[in-house]
Amino acid sequence: MLKKGIVIIFLSLTTVFNLSAQTSFRQQSPFIVKGFHIDLRIQVMTMDALKAFALKLSKEGINTLIMEWEGTYPFVKHPLIANRYAYTKEEIAGFINYCNFLGIDVIPLQQSFGHVEYILRNERYKDLREDQKDFSQVCPLQTEQDKALFTDLYTELAATHTSKYIHIGGDETYLLGHDERCRLKAAKEGKSKLYIDYIKMLCDIVIKLGKTPVLWADIALKYPEAIKLLPKSTVFIDWNYGWDMNNFGDHQKLVQSGYEIWGAPAIRSNPDNYFLTQWEKHFKNIRDFVPAAAALGYKGIVMTSWSTSGQYSPVFESENEMAEEYAIRHVYPLSGFNMLVEAYTQSISSTRPLNIDAFITKYCADHYGFNAEESGKFWHALKITPYEIRNGKVESVMQFSISQVSDSTKQALETLYQLKPARNKEEFEHYRLMMGIRLNYLQFEGIVQKVNSPSFTVTMVPGVLQELKNLMANGEIIDLHFTELNKKFLNPSEINTENDVRNLRVKLLYDRLSRNK
């Protein structure tokens, strides 16, 4: 009994301490909602990893999670929607209760217009498609069927989640008007009416369930004249990943609309993939957009973190039957981005812009025991040559060759191995692994450039095959490194999938050139 009493007292003191820390943070922060978005479309985190991440965020002042469950939510009325990595209802309820204990509100994000490939791929929902060749978007004129489906989904989510909000998605509806009836309505009344009428229907469902609708603001910015048709309780999330404030449309019309607005920067977004992380871009996004959102009077801020672009490559068995769909872009798992997460949580505690260099120096000192010189070397290595390769060319205003970018990346990797962190060594390994993955990719791109040259002849094949063998051997080492670092973070089968995706092009080219049967 004595031990139990001690535990209860300890937990009570811990709770009081956490609440006190959060109260202090809330007094300093310009935002009421201090959120983080977790994307589970691919790279599904284990439940233990989710809880550990929620605990980390709560200690840093985060009070809201937007959970893009997608196929990981086990809908009872619609069992085809869940994928192989779906959690149980008990796991999700346990996670929400755990977050509530931490003082974190868990908002479900249920895409209900675009980005619904995972639903519409099933024959049961084929009549809801805007386009029978692109399953990403529902037809907004199939009102009764759409209403029935999303009423079911929102009702289940509302029963599980204690939050007063439901996020309905609504972004990137690029197929508006593809269906013949939609095209005719858009020609007569405009695409804005096509969009807003459907979004209003979704908002009304949410409101009838006693919840507040939240949606991404990009399409609303495109059609600002129609915003006023939505319920006044609607919350817009203005996502900006480093571009002009008027990128999607006249920003002031949204600000002046009278609706509550939250902002959203990103720590993983296009063009990030396994072979490129634009660290400096994301730091600048935090530095610039967070204080801009505060100055505009946004009530909330939500850090987005995309595991994929949301675009998929379908594989068809025939003209009318899709066998599978694959996410086009994979990025490094969220496990490797603690530094950016902390930069974000620090930035939202103040209206002052993040001082990037000062933050890097302090983070490296606190977490790795680095002095200022070592911190500078680390930061230089991370942000060096952050360029995409497209069609065999380096995407840069300066003239760089693939070989030059590869050499710079090799030097950066050597720097990361020369640095010896005194603490958090496993966290530091993620940087080394990311850079190693990038180097392997760049060396492969150099080979691709070579074999596509008009001067490439059959006599050069043996040499290229040896280079590819070397890359595959290094790829196997990288796979082991990736598996070890993420074995508690991702499901084992998903780790295998991620390793296969990274190595696919190398193996395919080797098989082609070696005539491997």
Residues contacting residue 307 through CB under 8 Å, at least 6 positions apart: 39, 40, 41, 42, 43, 268, 327, 330, 331, 333, 334
Domain(s) labelled CATH 3.20.20.80 in the chain stretch across 33-347
Residue 9 clears pLDDT 50, i.e. is over it: no
Residue 384 clears pLDDT 60, i.e. is over it: yes
Question: How many whole angstroms separate alpha carbon 352 and alpha carbon 336?
Answer: 26
Higher confidence at residue 371 or residue 317? 371
Residue 138 clears pLDDT 90, i.e. is over it: yes
Reported as a single tens digit per residue, the pLDDT across 307-319 is 998 888 888 888 7
Residue 451 clears pLDDT 80, i.e. is over it: yes
Structure-token match 């269906």, residue found = 179
Query: Domain 33-347 belongs to what topology?
Result: TIM Barrel (3.20.20)
Reported as a single tens digit per residue, the pLDDT across 16-70 is 344 444 444 444 789 999 999 999 999 999 999 999 999 999 999 999 999 999 9
Q: Is the dihedral of CA 476, 477, 480, 481 positive or negative?
A: negative
pLDDT at 49: 98
Residue pair 82/72 in contact by the 8 Å Cβ criterion? yes
% of the chain at pLDDT higher than 90: 79
Residue 149 clears pLDDT 90, i.e. is over it: yes
Reported as a single tens digit per residue, the pLDDT across 96-105 is 999 999 999 9
Tally the residues of the chain: 517
Cβ burial, residue 237 (10 Å; 0-12/13-18/19+): buried
pLDDT at 5: 43
Residue 1 clears pLDDT 90, i.e. is over it: no
**Which of 89-98, 218-227, 425-434 shows the lowest per-residue confidence on average (mean pLDDT)?**
218-227
Residue 258 clears pLDDT 60, i.e. is over it: yes
Question: How many whole angstroms separate alpha carbon 191 and alpha carbon 226?
Answer: 10
Structure-token match 């479900």, residue found = 108
Q: Checking DSSP bridges between strand 235-239 and strand 165-167, what pairing results, if any?
A: unpaired
pLDDT at 70: 96
Reported as a single tens digit per residue, the pLDDT across 467-480 is 999 999 999 999 99
pLDDT at 493: 94
pLDDT at 26: 43
pLDDT at 507: 97
Residue 8 clears pLDDT 50, i.e. is over it: no
pLDDT at 516: 61
pLDDT at 23: 45
Residue 424 clears pLDDT 90, i.e. is over it: yes
> Burial letters for 22-58: b for 16+ Cβ neighbours within 10 Å, e otherwise?
beebeeebbbebbbbbbbbbbbbbbeebbbebbbebb
State the chain's mean pLDDT as an integer: 92
pLDDT at 325: 87
Residue 497 clears pLDDT 50, i.e. is over it: yes
Here the tokens at position 121 are 């791929």
Rg of the chain (C-alpha set): 24
**Which of 190-199, 275-284, 296-305 shows the lowest per-residue confidence on average (mean pLDDT)?**
190-199
